[in-house]
Structures are given as C-alpha cells and as structure tokens.
Amino acid sequence: MAITPQTMVLLSLLLSLSSLPIALALAEAGAESEDTAALLAFKAAAVGSSSGTSGAVLASWNGSGAGPCTWDGVKCSRIGRVVALRLRSLGLSGTLSPAVGNLSSLRELDLSSNWLRGEIPASLGRLRRLRTLDLSVNTLSGAVPGNLTACTSLRYLNLGSNRLSGHVPAGLGGALARLEVLWLTNNSVTGALPASLANLTSLRQLGLGLNALDGPIPPELGRNMARLEYVDLCHNHLRGEIPAPLYNVSSLASLDVGQNALHGGIPAGIHVQLPRLRYLALFENHFSGAIPPTISNLTQLVELELSENRFSGLVPRDLGRLQDLWKLLLDDNMLEAGDKMEGWEFMESLANCSKLNLFGLGGNDFTGDLPASVAKLSTTLEWLYLENLAISGSIPSEIGNLVGLKVLVLTDTDISGAIPDSIGRMENLVELHLDNNSLSGPVPSSVGNLTKLMKLSASGNSLGGSIPRNLGKLTDLTSLDLSSNHLNGSIPEETFQLQSLSLLLDLSHNSLSGPLPPNVGRLANLNTLRLSGNQLSGQLPAGIRDCVVLEELLLDSNSFQGSIPEALGDIKGLRVLNLTMNGFSGAIPDALGSIRSMQQLYVARNSLSGPIPADLQNLTSLSDLDLSFNDLQGEVPDRGFFRNLPRSSVAGNENLCGGMPRLRLHPCPTSASGKNSRSKRWPPLKHVEMALATVGAVVFLASLLAAATQLVVCRSRKQRRQQTKRQPLGAPAATGERYERVSYKELSEGTKGFSDANLLGRGSYGTVYRCVLSRLTDDGGRTVAASAAAVAVKVFDLERSGSTRSFVAECEALRSARHRCLVRTITCCSSVDRQGQEFKALVFELMPNGNLSRWLHPSPNEADPESTLSLIQRLDIAVDVVDALDYLHNHCRPPIVHCDLKPSNVLLAQDMSARVGDFGLSRILSDSDSACRAKAADPNSSSVIGIRGSVGYVPPEYGEGSGVSTLGDVYSLGILLLEMFTGRSPTDDAFGDSLDLRGFSEAGFPGRILEIADPNLWAHLPDTVTRNRVRECLLAVIRLALSCSKRQPKDRTPVRDAATEMRAIRDEAYLMMLAGSVVVRMEGEVVGGAVAPSLTSQS
C-alpha cells in the first residue's frame, strides 16, 4: 500500500511525541549530576581543615548512593533538583565555593553561625530563584557583592556579624522588590545609605547598625514601605534629620538611631504615625525641642532612650500610661520642672509603670522640691540616677520602699535635711551616692543593714555626729567617702577592720579627733587614705607599714605629733604623701628616699629638724616637694628634682644653706679658719673640733670594720656560688650573678643555631625560640632532666635600649613569683656568644598552644573550629588570668605590677589553661620606675615610648604621667576581657579617635549584647542552651570588664573582687551547660527591647 505524504507527517509526529519523555529524563539526569558536582565542590571548600562536627555531618555527602537528595542538610524538589541547603552551626571553616552558583534551582541557602572565611563569591548572583540567603555570624570579608541584585526572588538577606567592608550596593533597592529582611549590622560597611533602599516596599526589617555609615538618611526612606517593623541605624556617623516618611510607617515597632549626629525633633503626631512602637532610641545625638505629650499614647513602648540630646520643656505628665515601660533615660538634656510641683507631675504618673527597671533624669534644668512620689516608683526599679539637678527639699522618708534598687545616685543637688533611716530597708543596694548636697544630721546607723553595699559616698554635705560603728558590717565595701562634712568623735576601729576597702577611705575635712588606731595596718588592700583637715592627734602608728598597696596618704592639717615613722618607707607604691601642718618633729626619715614611686611629698609647717635626706634627690618621679617652715639645717641637695626646686619649697628654714642659686640661700661654710668663718647661725668652733675628733675615731674604726667585712664578703660569695649550684631548677638566682646551669652552647645546639625553623615569636626586647635540650644538669654535673626536653628560650636583643633592664625585670619578677597561672621559668643563661658578645636568655616551659591572641584573631587560613575558643574556654582562661593578677598584686610581697597585660602575653598550655608571661615591663613596687619604662620603638610592637605598656591596653592615667599602679593592670584586664568576648582588638581599624573598644562595648551594653559578642561563640554552643542564658553570662562578663576599664582608677573594680566575680560567672556558666534544656530560638526574639531578625523558610 502506498504511503501518502499526510501519513508520513503523522508518523513523524507520533515518533517525536514518544521520544519526549526520554529527552526530559535525560535533561533531569544532567541537572541532577550538575547539582551533585556543585555540592561536592562546596563541601571540599567549606569543610576546610577541620575534622570536627562538619566532617561528621557532611559524611553523607559521598557522591554515591541515591544522590544528593538524601544528604544531610539538602532538600530537593519533586523532580530531584536541590532547592534548599541548610547547614547552620556546623563548624564549617573553609571558604564559600563559587560552585554554589551552579545550583540553579536553589531557593534557600543558610550557612549562618559557622566560620566561613574569604569573600562572598559573585556566582551567587546566578541564583535567580533564591529566596533566603543567610551568611550571618561568619568571618566573611570583602565587599557585599553588587550582583546579588540579580537574585530578584530574594526575600531574606542576612550578612550581619561578619567582616564585610565597602558600601551598601546601590542596586539592592532597585532590583530586590520582594526583599523582606535586609541585615548588614555589625560589619565595617562605610559610605552613604543608598536612596534606592526606599524602593524596598516589601521590607520588614532593616539592620545597618554598628557600621561606619555616614551622610544623611535618604529622605525617601519609609515612603511606600508599609510593612516596615524594625529599623536599626545605631552607632554610625549619620547626619541630618530622620526623614518624615519614616515617621509615617505605622507598622514600625523599633526605631534605633542612637549614637549618630542627627538633629531635629520628635513629631507631635508620633502616637498616630507610629502606634505600634515598642523601642525608641535617639540617645547621643543632637535632637532638640519638646518631648511631645502625645508620646504617652505609645502604650506599647518598652524602652525610651532620649539621653544626651538637647530636648527642652516639660516632661510629659502622663508617662505613666506606658505601663510596659522598662527603661526610661532622659538624662543630660535641658528638660525643666519648677516650684510648686509644676512640671513634676510625670513622677506621680510613673508609679503606674510597674515594670520600670532603669530611670535616668540627671543633668537637666529641674528645680523645686524633690517630689515624695519618687518613693512610689516600682519596686522593680534597680537603677535611679538623679544627679546634677538644682532640686531642693529633702529625701522622702518613704525612699526605703524602693527595695529593688541596686544603684542610687542623688548627687550635686540642693537637697537638704537628714538621710532618712528607712534607707536601711534598701538591702539590695550595691552603690549609694549622696555627694555634694546640703544634707545634715547623722549618718543613720541603719546604713549598716546594707550588707551588699560596695560603694558609699556622701561627701560635700553638712552631716554631723559620729561615724556609725556598724559600718563595720559592710564587709563588701570597697569605697567609703564621707569627706567635707561636720563629723566628730573618733574614727571607729571597726572602720579599719574593713579589709574589703580597696579603692578609697576618705574622711577628710571633718572634725574627727583622737589618735589613729594601731590596727590601721589592717587596711592592707587600700589604695587611697585621706584624713586631712581633722583634729586627729597622737603619733602615727608604725602599723601603717602594713598598708602595702597604699598610693595616696593625706594626713595634713591635723595635730599629729612625734617623729615621722621610718615604716612609711615600706610602702613602696606610695605616690602622694602629705603631712603638712601637723606637729611632727625630729628628722625627715631617710627611708622616704627609697620610695621610688613618690611624686608628691609635703611635710611643710611642722617642727622637723636635721638635714634634708640626700636620697630625696634620687626620686626621679618627684614633681612636687614642700619642706617649708620647719627647722631644717644643713646643705640643700642640688641634684635631681632639687635642680629646679622653687624657693617657696624651703622657705622658713633659717638654717639651710647652699643649693641652687635660685634659692638665694647663703653658702655653706667650707673652712673653720679666719674670723669671717664663724657665723651666729652655725655651731661654735669648739663644737666643730669635737666633731672632727669624733669623725677621726669613727674613720679608724670603719677601716677595721671594712677589713673584716671584706673577709666575710669573700667567704659569702664562695658560699653563694655553692648554694647556686644546689638551687633547684626553676628558681633562678638573683640578677647580676652568672648563670651556668645551661650554657650558650646548649641553647645554640637546641635551637639549631637559633634558626627560623624554631622561631616562635618576636617581641620588643627579644626573640623566642623552641629549644630541645638533650638533658639538663646542675653545676655539680648531676642530671636534672635526663631525657630530651622541649622548652622555650627568650633571647634578649641587648643592642636595643632597655633590653637589659627588661631581662633584670623578668628575673626579679619571676624569682619572687610562683603560681600555677604564671609561666614557669626553668633557668637562665647569662654568658657570651661565639662572637664574644654578651648573651642573656631565659628558659621557660613550652606552651604548645601558643598565645591567646592567635586564638582570638586567627588568620583567614586558620579560621576553623579548632582555632577558636568556646564560651567555657574563654571563661576558664579569664579566671586564670584574673587569678594570676590577684596573686601578683595581693599575694606577692612586695606586689608586682605586670604593666603589659594583653592577649599575646597570655600563653596556653596543652589543656588550654592559661599562663601569664612576659614580665619585661613588670615593676616590683619596691623598685624604681625604671623597671617599667616603655619599650623601645619596634616594628613588631605597638608600644608607645614613654608609656608603660602596649597601645590599646595602656590605662589613660599612664599617658597623663601618673605612676605605675596595680589599678593600671586592672584597666588592661578590662580591655583584655572585652577583647576576649567581643572578638575585637582595641587596635582594630574600625576604632579611631571617636570610638574605642570600651566605647563600642558600652554602646552595646546591655540591650545589644548579643550583637557585639564574638560570632564564633555561637557555633560551639549546644542546642540545649538558650540565648537568654548566654545573654546573662555575657552581660555579667562585659559588666565586669567595663567596671575594670573605667577611666578613673579609683572607680575600677579591685582585682581581688574581680577574681571572685569572674569565678562566680564561670561556675554559673558550667551550671548553664549542664542544666540547659531549651532549644535555642532565633525566631522573632526580643533582645533588649529590639526585635531580632527571624529566619523563616522561604521555600
């Protein structure tokens, strides 16, 4: 039968249709193969060098079996294409492979809370179907890829808490019309906010805080953004006004623009425009005008932060309508209230805010009486600040109703009357400050009930009566200041039994009488003792020598008598000593010349006699000296400070002579011959002859004594050499002796000629090598370590200025200090090298895990789980460091100041326990300041010439010329703790003149504590630990760190208290890890009043 053309066409069509399924199947198989290849490439790059959890989780990714749809973390569509990759918190530590861009059907990519490093590949721009991209909490760097604008289906974009830089891509707003969440907070993004952000009409959350953005907020932002709920632009450099459209987004729940340079006012219609607002933060800007009364209609408001602006007028009277209010900060503005309760109505209204926790009102233009309604505030209130106000009246007797208060600051006002006895009911008080008011009457004995009190100050008032004895019950008290009042009677002995007093005891300028009790030496931890301007009498007890950490002793304008005790010379850290206007007699003790830290010495207007001790001219730190109006005799020294001594410093001492010409004193007699050699001011000649005879006898006896002494010294040296041979390993002899336990030859051989292959690190004064010693022997040839031992050897660069001094400082410090948290010194070597040059080295135990800095800031090639620290590890290390400082400051005699505490000087043992090392700048408080001079300039050091320590860690008072103190170490400790738990170095490029690590941390405390925390913390935490528990732990650590790093030394937490608190925080964290049972939630959680971004599946 013939086949017609029509039949042929029909047959061809049927054949094509029958082969279509085969072609589709082949295409699907090809696509699945492409997905498999992309995932395997992703695994190879992302797993990196780690072999921990990531290796176990991705073990199913083996390229065999049923295909990628069965692999962990992979979700496929019905046709077998990969549509979701969810690998959150798996410890991925490598890079993000560009092959991810080949997953053409991908809708969700969640790689958050890992350690991914490197740049975000541009190939992600090929993922046209991508809806969710979460790369937050990693260590990614580089710019935000501009071609993400090609991902037009994107709804959730979170790149927060990385190390991204550059600008916000301008095209984001023009292309990503469906975007709901844009989160770039806590990076280093710069430049202006692109105006195109206003085109993101579907946006719900915009997070750009904690960056370095500048310029104005785009005036269009908020227009047509009807779904916007959360805006975070805090901690940038933004200028101008908040655009009007942003105030018209009725869905807005949180608006944070704090710490910028914005100005303008709060619109009167804010309650209508933003009816759902819960968090409003405008602090530290230049906002002005009145706070509109309508703000009281924002009934969902939880936090209102308006401090440090220029707001004026009255505080809205109906703030009490904000019944969910938790934080209200209005301090440091120009707000007003006056007499007859005008403008104070808001205080009565705030009694309705039953959840109020923190209330700041200080630094405004308030006048009139303090309303009694302040005592009606919620019992949940913990912080109340009412400082620097022109208010009057009295403290309400009902103030004791505020039983929840922890901190009460009522200072610099015109408040008068008595301190109410009811204050003793506030048993949770930790700090009570009542300074510079007009308070009168006695200090109520009920204050003794405040057993949690750490700081009590009521200076600058008119308080009278005696000091209550039951202040001795305040066993946690670190600072007591009752100065400039009218207190009388004797100082209770119980006051001197408060061994917790460490910062300050100031009872100056009162009418106190009687002697100082002998037990004054029990204040062994006290830094500052001020008793000036009283009527104290009697002799100064020798027990004062036990106040070994005392830096300031002011006893002027009293009626003390007797001699100045030699025991004062035992207080080697003393910086200021004022004994002016007393009745002291006798000679100025020579021992005062041994206090090398002395900066100010005042002994004027006493009855002192004898010569000026020559040793005073050796006090290189001395800046002020007043010896005037005494009965001193003899020659005035002419070296050291005395070269520029003003005439007023020695005025009123008729029998002084010599000195520098500017003093205009008569010359000292040089001869006893001639009629002009005599003077009525000088002893008669017969007295001189008697003295010469006596001197001759003394010289003869001294000659005999010198010969005998020389014999004893020779024998002593021989015995000392023998004792040195018998000295156990790990106890170096005194500096200046020859160390022979390890020779230069052994150290050279053990380091293979000090080769770079054994180099461990370089410092300002030397280089550290790994050294293998075949065996260690003592000088008698006896074996101390028979097998090969790996040690660390620090070789000092003796050509560098200060290196010899550094060697001496380390020897002296390590000789007198032995503690589990200090690097153990094995031995020393002081010899000559092969070229005959002087050679000095210290041999330490080898710390296999390097220094803390390496773990806090791993290089991009090392950013894996094994190279970062968990929360518990950081807490353990912090406890070790604080324990080491506590030992150096409080258990070494004399105390040792480290002077250079920083992560690179904290070494980690095999078990990750910490050891504090590098005592090259340390100062033993009995030594001169020269042991703690600054390091010389060095390319590997960030030290500053003239300042003791390293940039970023040096306490501010060192830069102002103050002497070394234990509180300087406490400041460095605070910065170290901040670095450990934020992951940011104080020398980070993001910090400059206007911002430092402390300011960055303080800005995030407490509301943004999770944002400023080191992102690496999260990947180590088990799922059983809740965010709230971690937040509480971080709050406690950062609170302690901020307290340790306060600008004023007297305000810093003493290291003894810091050690106790740090151990308590660590122990609580252990319990948290054991007891945690709730899975971490990230969805919609409110952190410090700010809604955190929620991660929801967009597949």
Are residues 803 and 857 part of one domain? no
Contact predicate 1092/1007, CB 8 Å:
no
Higher pLDDT, 674 or 111: 111
Q: Residue 40 carries which side chain, given as an amino acid letter? A: L
Burial environment of residue 639 by CB neighbours within 10 A (0 to 12, 13 to 18, 19 or more): exposed
Please determine, for residue 1094, whether its predicted confidence score (pLDDT) is greater than 60.
no
- Cα 243-249-251 angle, rounded to 5 deg: 150
Which token pair is 627?
């010896």
**100, 125, 158 - which closes a domain:** 158
Please determine, for residue 37, whether its predicted confidence score (pLDDT) is greater than 70.
yes
With cut-offs at 50, 70 and 90, classify the pLDDT of residue 587.
very high
- DSSP track, 228-268: --EEE--SSEEEEE--GGGGG-TT--EEE--SSEEEE---T
Burial environment of residue 384 by CB neighbours within 10 A (0 to 12, 13 to 18, 19 or more): buried
Show which residues are catalytic. 900
pLDDT of residue 710: 46
pLDDT of residue 761: 79
pLDDT of residue 477: 92
The predicted model gives 898-903 an average pLDDT of 90
CATH of residue 55's domain is 3.80.10.10
Which token pair is 258?
């704090």
| Dihedral sign computed on CA atoms, order 540, 542, 546, 551 | positive
Contact predicate 225/199, CB 8 Å:
no
Lowest mean pLDDT among 138-152, 217-231, 948-962: 948-962
Q: Residue 934 belongs to what domain range?
A: 852-1099
Tell me the C-alpha distance between 262 and 404, whole Å: 36
pLDDT of residue 998: 92
| Residue 178 located in a structural domain | no
Contact predicate 171/148, CB 8 Å:
no
pLDDT of residue 1086: 35
pLDDT of residue 946: 38
Please determine, for residue 926, whether its predicted confidence score (pLDDT) is greater than 90.
no
Are residues 1098 and 1007 part of one domain? yes
pLDDT of residue 221: 94
Tell me the C-alpha distance between 1011 and 1091, whole Å: 12
Which token pair is 585?
């007699």
Contacts 24+ apart (CB under 8 A), 526-530: 526/501, 526/502, 526/550, 527/502, 527/503, 527/551, 527/552, 527/965, 527/966, 527/967, 527/1049, 527/1050, 528/503, 528/504, 528/552, 528/1050, 529/505, 529/553, 529/554, 530/483, 530/504, 530/505, 530/506, 530/554
pLDDT of residue 838: 81
Which token pair is 749?
């051989």
With cut-offs at 50, 70 and 90, classify the pLDDT of residue 1024.
low
Exposure string for 212-251, b = 16+ CB within 10 A, e = fewer: bbeebbbbbbbbebeebbbbbbbbbebeeebbebbbbbee
H and E: helices and strands count for the chain: 17, 60
Q: Which of 120, 125, 156, 158 is nearest to 140 (CA)?
A: 120
Place of tokens 């066993």: 475
Question: Alpha helices, DSSP H only, in 820-965?
Answer: 852-856, 871-890, 956-959
Higher pLDDT, 149 or 1082: 149
Beta strands in 17-105 (DSSP E): 74-76, 82-86
Contact predicate 355/323, CB 8 Å:
yes
Q: Give yes or no for a cis peptide into 848 (omega within 30° of 0).
A: no
54-111 per-position pLDDT tens digit: 446 688 888 666 688 889 899 999 888 999 999 998 888 899 999 999 999 999 999 9
pLDDT of residue 949: 63
With cut-offs at 50, 70 and 90, classify the pLDDT of residue 814.
low
- 845: how many CB neighbours lie within 10 A of its CB? 18
Higher pLDDT, 500 or 1085: 500
Please determine, for residue 697, whether its predicted confidence score (pLDDT) is greater than 70.
no
Are residues 840 and 892 part of one domain? no
The predicted model gives 1005-1027 an average pLDDT of 80
With cut-offs at 50, 70 and 90, classify the pLDDT of residue 862.
low
pLDDT of residue 1030: 87
Are residues 829 and 777 part of one domain? yes
**811, 846, 881 - which closes a domain:** 846
Please determine, for residue 815, whether its predicted confidence score (pLDDT) is greater than 70.
no
Tell me the C-alpha distance between 455 and 471, whole Å: 12
Are residues 882 and 748 part of one domain? no
Lowest mean pLDDT among 84-98, 337-351, 472-486, 529-543: 337-351
Lowest mean pLDDT among 454-458, 662-666, 703-707, 892-896: 703-707
pLDDT of residue 63: 66
The predicted model gives 808-829 an average pLDDT of 73
With cut-offs at 50, 70 and 90, classify the pLDDT of residue 724.
very low
Which token pair is 291?
């706070």
Are residues 873 and 824 part of one domain? no
Q: What percent of the chain has pLDDT over 70?
A: 80
Burial environment of residue 78 by CB neighbours within 10 A (0 to 12, 13 to 18, 19 or more): exposed
pLDDT of residue 505: 94
Tell me the C-alpha distance between 697 and 283, whole Å: 80
| Residue 826 located in a structural domain | yes
Are residues 942 and 904 part of one domain? yes
- 702: how many CB neighbours lie within 10 A of its CB? 12
pLDDT of residue 764: 67
Question: Alpha helices, DSSP H only, in 863-951?
Answer: 871-890
| Residue 188 located in a structural domain | no
- The separation between the first and the last C-alpha atoms of the chain, rounded to the nearest angstrom, is 58
Are residues 857 and 836 part of one domain? no
Tell me the C-alpha distance between 558 and 545, whole Å: 20
Return all residues near 154 (Cβ < 8 A) that are at least 6 apart.
130, 131, 132, 133, 148, 176, 178, 179
Are residues 888 and 810 part of one domain? no
Q: Which of 773, 772, 770, 736 is nearest to 756 (CA)?
A: 770
The predicted model gives 6-35 an average pLDDT of 59
Q: Which of 645, 594, 587, 585 is nearest to 615 (CA)?
A: 594
1047-1082 per-position pLDDT tens digit: 899 889 999 889 888 988 988 887 777 655 333 333
| Residue 978 located in a structural domain | yes
Tell me the backbone φ, ψ of residue 631, rounded to 5 degrees: -130, 45
CATH of residue 920's domain is 1.10.510.10
User: What average pLDDT does the chain have?
Assistant: 82
pLDDT of residue 52: 45
Are residues 893 and 798 part of one domain? no
| Residue 1082 located in a structural domain | yes
Structurally, the chain folds into a number of domains equal to 3
pTM of model > 0.85 = no
Tell me the C-alpha distance between 324 and 220, whole Å: 32
The predicted model gives 443-460 an average pLDDT of 93
Are residues 877 and 789 part of one domain? no
pLDDT of residue 131: 95
| Residue 512 located in a structural domain | no
Lowest mean pLDDT among 215-224, 592-601, 635-644, 686-695: 686-695
**158, 189, 213 - which closes a domain:** 158
| Residue 435 located in a structural domain | no
pLDDT of residue 250: 93
Are residues 905 and 817 part of one domain? no
DSSP state letter for 649: G
Please determine, for residue 786, whether its predicted confidence score (pLDDT) is greater than 60.
no
| Residue 1066 located in a structural domain | yes
CATH of residue 825's domain is 3.30.200.20
DSSP state letter for 120: P
